[in-house]
């Protein structure tokens, strides 16, 4: 994944025989088959390879099972395994009628001679020794706005920006919806507090490791934990994600040690797994443009939605009736500048990043695609997003990687509220509701979507009212209030935003106990960490622009 701060990797294979290694360098290859002639599977018996939930999803949307959905002919796979040289068939692709095979060059030559084989391409080289895995990254009754904000903790702003707070208040938190998260690992996701309900309630429906094989995913890089938390986190008073009651499939497709096209093949395999499992929404904070040598990197001309393996996979997922939500990429300030793949795919939601003031994040990648389509599709908060780490702490992070899962959760809740819609109708409704619907561009796409606006477009006779929290307050705010930890967050009204500030905290006698200057902020929420723990009592926080202007004050209690 070629994002400026997020490197991806060569797939590691285990279990190859010494004989296979002796014949030469082992690589992974995508082997394409000629046809599906003679397959024991039939479109009239789809239950043999698709789950009941997958078939129901297609039936609701009028999507028929076609020949492209049939599994690869098992006889062809058996022929590959029988050529000699110990080739390993790692997994197959229904949609591309192909298999990912690990073998040396001599064995590959024998495979290409099979009459059932149409051709192939090299995906990666296998290192002689496994590399160590990178260390996890540290990363209802009516309520007042303050009470709502306190429930969401530091995640309030990112939920509020896209209308997820109102969506939850209306009773839609992802119940009954299934979301697949594709990423580089989920260490701690089975242990940390804000994700405990997923485990306790059995809402992790499946796990797949397409890097190492098997089903172990609570390992490797914590980027997946970060992204999962943005959707499924729930610990009221501390942190709430955008679809905290959804059911999840966790797919490890990314290895962060190097970058080869095999990871796009992993993405393909995960998408076909998600299809067969009956997943509704795919959340993928992954992207590819530049590969390590000797692999050939993508060019801008490849961004047509029809060239890259992962883009074809994303299109296949869309055709199967899933909503694919993929990050645009973080190359907006780099020479590449453009989105990556599979963000170029047609019929998916490509997500750009904004700050809490709804301004484009400079790092957020731009469109259009090579064939002129607008990208990104929609945008969400990706500057100073509140993100869960593998240890359960909450930090702030930047990236379209974070805007993507936030929006994926909104998609799940919106579809839950409108279950008769097709996947493409869901995307269309959210685009119509967005802030730039009348003038989309290649920075923010159709803009920032809003649950209430999208819902009311579809239900004009029974509209939802915007929650009181939807409008920014004109007054200074602070939370948590009361505070127990000493970690405070200032909520700046528009009059105090985007300018340098002087902040003072006064005790009950009027004595200044904290005084500091803050630079101009690109976000409405500003952490305020006193140098020492405040003694229990009542305090007043006074904020004034350094350039002069009217000060604002807010009282809070330290317990």
Phi/psi of residue 15, nearest 5 degrees: 85, 10
Contact 283, 227 (CB under 8 A): yes
Other C-beta atoms lying within 10 Å of the C-beta of residue 445: 25
Question: Residue 74, Cβ neighbours under 10 Å: how many?
Answer: 13
Catalytic residue, chosen from 29, 124, 168, 183, is 183
29 part of the active site: no
Interatomic CA distance for residues 114 and 90, integer angstroms? 18
Report the alpha-carbon distance of residue 325 to residue 400 in Å, rounded: 11
Name 143's Cβ contacts closer than 8 Å, sequence gap at least 6.
Answer: 151
Residue 95 contacts residue 232 (beta carbons within 8 Å): no
The Cα-based distances of 41 to 66, 74, 167, 341 in angstroms read: 11, 10, 42, 32
Nearest to 179 by CA among 280, 82, 269, 255: 280
CB 534 within 8 A of CB 492: no
Question: Alpha-carbon distance 286 to 342, whole Å?
Answer: 8
Interatomic CA distance for residues 511 and 504, integer angstroms = 10
- For the question of residue 459 being annotated catalytic, the response is no
Kind and range of the H or E run holding 529? none
Joined together, the tokens standing for residue 251 give: 């797919």
**How would DSSP label each residue in 271-327?**
HHHHHHHT-SEEEE---BS---TTSPPP-GGGTTTTSSHHHHHHHHHHHTTPEEEEE
Q: Which residue from 198, 182, 183, 399 is spatially nearest to 272, judged by alpha carbons? A: 182
Residue of 29, 223, 245, 298 marked active site? 223
DSSP3 helix / strand / coil % (the chain, rounded to 5): 25, 25, 50
CA distances from 511 to 507, 535, 551 (A): 6, 13, 17
SS3 at position 454: helix
CA-CA distance, 247 to 202, in Å (whole number)?
Answer: 8
In angstroms and rounded to an integer, the radius of gyration of the C-alpha atoms of the chain is 25
Residues contacting residue 132 through CB under 8 Å, at least 6 positions apart: none
DSSP string, 164-224: HHHHHHTT-S-TT-EEEEEESB-TTTTTSGGGHHHHHTT-EEEEEETTTSSS--SSB-THH
Burial zone of 335 (CB within 10 Å; 0-12 exposed, 13-18 middle, 19+ buried): exposed
Could you say which of 283, 311, 356, 401 is catalytic? 401
Residue keyed to tokens 């296998």:
126
Query: Would you please indicate which residues are annotated as catalytic (active-site) residues?
Result: 183, 223, 401
């Amino acid at each position: 994944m070629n994002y400026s701060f997020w490197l991806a990797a060569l797939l590691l294979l285990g279990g190859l025989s010494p004989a296979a290694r002796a014949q030469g360098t082992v690589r992974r290859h995508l082997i394409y088959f000629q046809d599906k002639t003679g397959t024991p599977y039939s479109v009239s018996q789809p239950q043999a390879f698709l789950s009941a939930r997958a078939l129901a999803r297609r039936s609701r949307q009028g999507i028929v099972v076609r020949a492209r959905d049939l599994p690869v002919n098992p006889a062809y796979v058996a022929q590959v395994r029988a050529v000699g040289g110990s080739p390993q068939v790692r997994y197959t692709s229904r949609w591309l009628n192909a298999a990912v095979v690990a073998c040396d060059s001599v064995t590959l030559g024998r495979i290409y001679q099979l009459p059932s084989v149409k051709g192939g391409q090299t995906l990666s080289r296998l290192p002689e020794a496994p590399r160590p895995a990178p260390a996890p990254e540290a990363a209802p009754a009516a309520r007042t706005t303050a009470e709502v904000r306190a429930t969401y903790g530091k995640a309030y702003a990112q939920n509020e920006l896209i209308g997820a707070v109102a969506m939850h208040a209306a009773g839609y938190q992802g119940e009954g919806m299934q979301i697949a998260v594709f990423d580089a690992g989920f260490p701690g996701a089975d242990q940390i507090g804000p994700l405990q309900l997923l485990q306790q309630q059995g809402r992790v429906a499946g796990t797949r490791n397409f890097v190492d094989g098997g089903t172990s995913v609570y390992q490797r890089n914590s980027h997946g934990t970060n992204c999962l938390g943005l959707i499924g986190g729930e610990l009221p008073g501390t942190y709430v994600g955008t679809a905290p009651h959804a059911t999840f499939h966790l797919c490890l497709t990314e290895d962060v040690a190097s970058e080869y096209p095999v990871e796009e093949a992993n993405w393909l395999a995960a998408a076909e797994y998600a299809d067969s499992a009956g997943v509704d929404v795919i959340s993928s904070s992954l992207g590819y443009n530049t590969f390590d040598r000797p692999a050939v990197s993508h060019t801008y001309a490849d961004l047509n939605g029809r060239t890259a393996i992962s883009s074809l996979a994303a299109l296949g997922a869309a055709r199967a009736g899933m909503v694919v939500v993929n990050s645009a990429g973080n190359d907006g300030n780099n020479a590449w500048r453009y989105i990556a793949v599979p963000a170029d795919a047609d019929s998916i939601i490509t997500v750009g990043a904004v700050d809490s003031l709804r301004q484009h994040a400079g790092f957020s990648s731009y469109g259009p695609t090579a064939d002129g389509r607008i990208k990104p599709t929609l945008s969400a908060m990706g500057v100073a997003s509140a993100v869960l780490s593998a240890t359960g702490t909450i930090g702030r992070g930047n990236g379209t990687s974070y805007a993507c899962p936030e929006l994926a959760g909104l998609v799940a809740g919106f579809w839950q509220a409108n279950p008769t819609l097709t996947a493409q109708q869901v995307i269309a409704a959210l685009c119509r509701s967005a802030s730039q619907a009348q003038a989309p561009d290649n920075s923010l796409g159709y803009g920032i979507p809003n649950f209430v606006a999208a819902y009311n477009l579809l239900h004009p006779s029974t509209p939802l009212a915007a929650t009181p929290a939807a409008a920014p307050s004109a007054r200074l705010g602070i939370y948590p209030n009361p505070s127990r930890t000493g970690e405070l967050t200032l909520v700046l009204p528009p009059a105090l935003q985007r300018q340098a500030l002087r902040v003072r905290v006064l005790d009950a006698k009027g004595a200044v106990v904290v005084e500091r200057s803050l630079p101009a902020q690109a976000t409405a929420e500003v952490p305020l960490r006193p140098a020492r723990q405040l003694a229990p009592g009542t305090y007043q926080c006074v904020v004034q622009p350094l350039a002069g202007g009217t000060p604002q004050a807010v009282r809070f209690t330290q317990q």
